[in-house]
Amino acid sequence: MAALPLSPRTIIAVILWMAGALISFSAAALGVRALSQTLGLFDILTLRSATGIIVLLAVATVRPALLADLNAKRLPLHVARNVIHFAATYGWALALTLLPLATVFALEFTMPVWVALLAVLLLGERMTPSRVACVALGFAGALVILKPGLETLQPAALLMLMVAAAFAISVIATKLLTATQSTYAILFWMNLIQLPLNWLGSGPSFWTKVGPEHAWPLAGICLGGLSAHLCLTNAYRHGDATMVVPLDFLRIPLIALIGWRLYDEPLDPFVFLGSALIIAGILWNLRAETRPVPARPA
C-alpha cells in the first residue's frame, strides 16, 4: 500500500525542525572551531558532557518517571558504545580544526555507508543490491573528496573516514540498545560515561581557562549539539526518512558557505562532486528500503 501524502502542515513542521537541526549542527561545528583557539579539545568535550548531564537532570525534575529508565542491565554495551563514540567525537572535533568545514561534513556523511556494511557483518542483515550500490557510490565519493595521489591528500581526511566508521559502529550499538533502553537512558549513560573520559584528558584545572568570552561558542557546542538531535528526532517523528534525509544533506552546502564566508575556505568542487556520489548511493538505498512490498496474491 502506498504511503499517504503528507499534509502541508506536516511538511512545514518537517522543514522547520530540519532548519533547526541544520543551524544547530553548524553552530556546534563553529563552536568547536572557535573554542579550539584557547581551550583543548578534551576541555571542550568535558564541558559538552557536563552540560548534557545538567540538561538531562533538569528534564528529569519535570518528568521524574524518566529516572526509572536508568538501570545497569545493558551497562557493558553502554560502556563499549560510548568508548567508541568518545573516540569518534574527539576525532570529529580534531578534524574540525584541521580540515575545511565542508570536507568534514561531507566525509561524515559516509557514516550510512559504513552502517550498511557493518549491519551485514555484525547484525547479519542481508546485503541487497541497493546496499551494494550505497557502499560502492559512498566509497567512490570518498575517493573523489580525498583525491588520492594528489598533493592535496591530507592525513586528517583519512582520520575523518575512520571517525565516520566509528560513528557507524556506535549507531549499530545504539540500534541494539533501543530494543530494551529508552532514548533518555541512552543519552544519560552517554554523557555520564564520556564525562570522566574527557575530564581525564583535560585535567581538573581546565575550568580556570573558561571565561565570559567563551559563552557564545560554548552555547554552540553544548546546546547546539543537544538541540541538533532534538530537532532531527522531531523531524523524523513528523515525516519519514525519504523526506528528512535529503534535507539533512543541505548541511554540506550550508557549512561550505559558512566556511567560505567566515574562514575564507575555498569552495572545493571535488567536495561537492564526491558528496553528490555519496548522497546518490544513500538515496538509492533509502528509496529501495522504504518501497512498499507488493502483497502476494492469495
Nearest by Cα to 227 from 66, 68, 22:
22
Q: For the chain, 298 residues long, give each residue's pLDDT as a single digit of tens.
A: 444 456 778 888 888 888 888 899 899 999 999 988 888 889 889 988 888 899 889 999 999 988 888 888 889 999 999 999 999 999 999 999 999 999 999 998 888 888 888 888 877 778 888 888 888 998 898 888 887 655 556 788 889 999 999 998 988 888 888 888 888 888 899 999 999 999 988 877 777 778 888 888 888 888 887 788 778 777 877 776 666 777 788 888 889 999 999 999 988 898 999 999 998 988 888 788 766 655 555 4
Q: Where are the domains of the chain?
A: 8-290
Residues 269 and 43: their CA atoms lie apart, in Å, by 34
Query: What pLDDT is attached to residue 2?
Result: 44
Residue 262 backbone phi and psi in degrees, to 5: -90, -30
Closest CA to 247 of 93, 8, 5, 23: 23
- Say what the pLDDT of residue 91 is: 94
What is the rounded CA–CA span in Å between residue 155 and residue 150? 12
Assessment of whether the complete model's pTM goes beyond 0.85:
no
The answer to whether 232 and 39 have CB atoms below 8 angstroms apart is no
Under a CB-based contact definition with an 8 Å cutoff, are residues 97 and 33 in contact? Answer: yes
Cβ atoms of 268 and 104 within 8 Å: the answer is no
Cβ neighbours of residue 254 closer than 8 Å, sequence gap 6 or more: 22, 26
State the pLDDT at residue 162. 93
Short-list 66, 93, 80, 60, CA closest to 190: 80
Separation of CA 48 from chain center: 15
- 1 CB contacts (<8 Å, ≥6 apart)? 292
Q: What is the pLDDT of residue 242?
A: 62
Alpha-carbon distance 48 to 52, whole Å? 6
Among 180, 169, 178, 162, residue whose Cα is nearest residue 119? 169
Give the per-residue pLDDT at 150.
54
Taking 3-state DSSP, the helix, strand and coil percentages for the chain, each rounded to the nearest 5, stand at 80, 0, 20
pLDDT value of position 40: 87
| Cα–Cα dist 156/223, whole Å | 26
Q: What is the structure's pLDDT at 251?
A: 86
- Closest C-alpha among 2, 3, 13 to residue 238: 13
